[in-house]
C-alpha cells in the first residue's frame, strides 16, 4: 500500500492536516509518513533554538504525535522524516516521489499569515506534485465521516480528470458525489457544453454504484459562488484541478486554485491533470 504523506511544521494548521491524514490512512490501512522540511522559518516556534537542536526537537515532537494517534493507527503504520531542502515545496515533493506516496496532505493558514504552508505555498506544492494534494485550512471543518464530495466540472477537458480520484475517495468514505457544472458566462454554447460534460461524469460515477447528483452554477465569480454553496449545503470535501490551462474557459487554473485554498472552510483535493492522463491510459 502506498503511503500518505502529511507535511508537518508543528503548527495548528499541520495538526489539522494530520487529523485528516490519520482518518484516511486508518480507512484504507495505508502507511502514514510525516515529513518535516528543515528549511528555516524564523517565525516558527521550532526554529527558536540553535540550528543543531532543531532536528532533535522535531524528533521529540514527532514521537508525541505517534503517541497521540497510537489508538487510531498501529505504531508501525506511522513513520517520519526530517528533510533538508532548499524549499518546502522541493522537500515535500521529493519525499513523496521517494516513498511513492499516493497523496500529500498539508495545512494552511491562508495568505494573510506568514505561515510555512501559506495558501500560495500550498498551491505551489499542489501544482508541482505528481500526486493529489489535500489542502486543509486551519479551522476547517474536518469530519471523520465524509458524506458528500463536491466535484466542480467546467468546460475544459481536464476538468473531468478529477473523476477517478473522486470515485476512489467516495468508495473510501462510502460518500455521495455532487457534480457541479460551472460556467463563468451565461452562454448557451458554454452551458450546453458543461451540461454534456456533467452528464458524462454522472454516468461515469454511476458505473461504480456511488450515489450521485447534479447541480449547475453560472456566475461571473465562480470562486465565491462555489464557496457559498459549500457553506449552505452539507459538503465535506471538494475535488479540483491545479494545472494552469492557456484558455480562459478553465476555471481551475493557478489563481483560482489558490483562492479556493485560501477561502475554503472544507478540505480541498488538488489534482494535477497529467497524473490522471497517465493512469487512465494504462
| 4-137 shares its CATH topology with 148-280 | yes
Residue 212's pLDDT is 98
Are 275 and 132 contacting, i.e. CB atoms less than 8 angstroms apart? yes
Beta pairing class for 133-137 and 268-271: antiparallel
> How far is 93 from 126, CA to CA, in rounded Å?
9
Q: What is the pLDDT of residues 127-175, one digit of tens each?
A: 888 899 999 887 777 888 999 999 999 888 788 889 999 999 999 999 9
Q: Phi and psi dihedrals of 47, rounded to 5?
A: -90, 5
Could you tell me the three cell numbers for 160? 473531468
pLDDT at 118 over 60: no
Q: How many residues does the chain have?
A: 282
Beta pairing class for 32-37 and 4-7: parallel
In the chain, domain spans: 4-137, 148-280
pLDDT at 31 over 70: yes
pLDDT at 81 over 60: yes
When pLDDT is averaged across residues 196-224 and rounded to a whole number, the result is 95
> How far is 85 from 246, CA to CA, in rounded Å?
31
> How far is 213 from 205, CA to CA, in rounded Å?
10
Residue 112's pLDDT is 46
pLDDT at 255 over 60: no
Q: Phi and psi dihedrals of 113, rounded to 5?
A: -105, 150
Q: Which residues pair with 29 in a beta bridge?
A: none
| pTM for this prediction | 0.86
Pick the CATH number of 4-137 from 3.40.50.620, 1.20.1440.20, 1.10.150.20, 3.40.50.150: 3.40.50.620
Q: How far is C-alpha 197 from the geometric centre of its chain's CA atoms?
A: 23
The alpha carbons of the chain give a radius of gyration, in whole angstroms, of: 19
Q: Cell 509518513 identifies what position?
A: 33
pLDDT over 70, % of the chain: 83
Residue 244's pLDDT is 38
pLDDT at 10 over 50: yes
Could you tell me the three cell numbers for 138? 486551519
148-280 — its CATH code? 3.40.50.620
> How far is 100 from 95, CA to CA, in rounded Å?
8
> How far is 79 from 76, CA to CA, in rounded Å?
7
When pLDDT is averaged across residues 175-191 and rounded to a whole number, the result is 90
Average pLDDT, the chain: 84
pLDDT at 205 over 70: yes
Q: What letter would DSSP give residue 103?
A: E
Amino acid at each position: 500500500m502506498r503511503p500518505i504523506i502529511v507535511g508537518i511544521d508543528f503548527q495548528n494548521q499541520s495538526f489539522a492536516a494530520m487529523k485528516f491524514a490519520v482518518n484516511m490512512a486508518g480507512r484504507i490501512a495505508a502507511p502514514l509518513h510525516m515529513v518535516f522540511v528543515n528549511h528555516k522559518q524564523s517565525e516558527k516556534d521550532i526554529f527558536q533554538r540553535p540550528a543543531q537542536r532543531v532536528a532533535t526537537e522535531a524528533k521529540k515532537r514527532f514521537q508525541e504525535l505517534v503517541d497521540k494517534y497510537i489508538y487510531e493507527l498501529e505504531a508501525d503504520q506511522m513513520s517520519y522524516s526530517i528533510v533538508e531542502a532548499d524549499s518546502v515545496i522541493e522537500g515535500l515533493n521529493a519525499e513523496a516521489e521517494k516513498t511513492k506516496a499516493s497523496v500529500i496532505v498539508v495545512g494552511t493558514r491562508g495568505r494573510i499569515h506568514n505561515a510555512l504552508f501559506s495558501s500560495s505555498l500550498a498551491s505551489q506544492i499542489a501544482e508541482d506534485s505528481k500526486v493529489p494534494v489535500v489542502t486543509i485550512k486551519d479551522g476547517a471543518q474536518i469530519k471523520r465521516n465524509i458524506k458528500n464530495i463536491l466535484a466542480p466540472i467546467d468546460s475544459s477537458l481536464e476538468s473531468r480528470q478529477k473523476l477517478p480520484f473522486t470515485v476512489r475517495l467516495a468508495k473510501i468514505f462510502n460518500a455521495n458525489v455532487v457534480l457541479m457544472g460551472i460556467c463563468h458566462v451565461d452562454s448557451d454554447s458554454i452551458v450546453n457544453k458543461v451540461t454534456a460534460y456533467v452528464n458524462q461524469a454522472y454516468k461515469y460515477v454511476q458505473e461504480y454504484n456511488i450515489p450521485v447528483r447534479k447541480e449547475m452554477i453560472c456566475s461571473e465569480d465562480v470562486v465565491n459562488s462555489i464557496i457559498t454553496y459549500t457553506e449552505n449545503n452539507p459538503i465535506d470535501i471538494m475535488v479540483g484541478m491545479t494545472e494552469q490551462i492557456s484558455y480562459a474557459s478553465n476555471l481551475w487554473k493557478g489563481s483560482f486554485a489558490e483562492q479556493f485554498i485560501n477561502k475554503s472552510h472544507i478540505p480541498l483535493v488538488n489534482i494535477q491533470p497529467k497524473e490522471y492522463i497517465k493512469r487512465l491510459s494504462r
